Amino acid sequence: FKMKKLLLITVIFLAFACSKDDGDSNECLICDSFGDGADMTQSELNGFCVGATGEDGSTITREDVEAMAALLNFFPGTDCSVK
């Protein structure tokens, strides 16, 4: 249970730590539904997109977004993908 909380905090931090760059791809993490264990909303994930710049200056890649989708999909009833 502690691991789930840690993962959620990490996801929320990453979502708020990056800003969208208008010139890059519009492939973003989109969740059509969230399970009971995933205590968040789509609005908390806005901006987690390919090409976004993280707080540390790194660029979010498609692999980063896919990995986050896989992590969130770990929670039963959660349906996230890169769109």
User: What are the tens digits of pLDDT across the range 69-82?
Assistant: 998 888 889 899 99
Q: How far apart are CA 7 and CA 29, in angstroms?
A: 16
Dump pLDDT digits (tens) for 5-14: 666 666 666 6
pLDDT average, residue stretch 59-65:
90
Residue 65 has pLDDT above 70, yes or no: yes
| Dmax (CA) of the chain | 39
What does the block give as tokens for 15? 């979502």
Which of 24-28, 33-37, 40-44 is predicted with the least confidence, judged by mean pLDDT?
A: 24-28
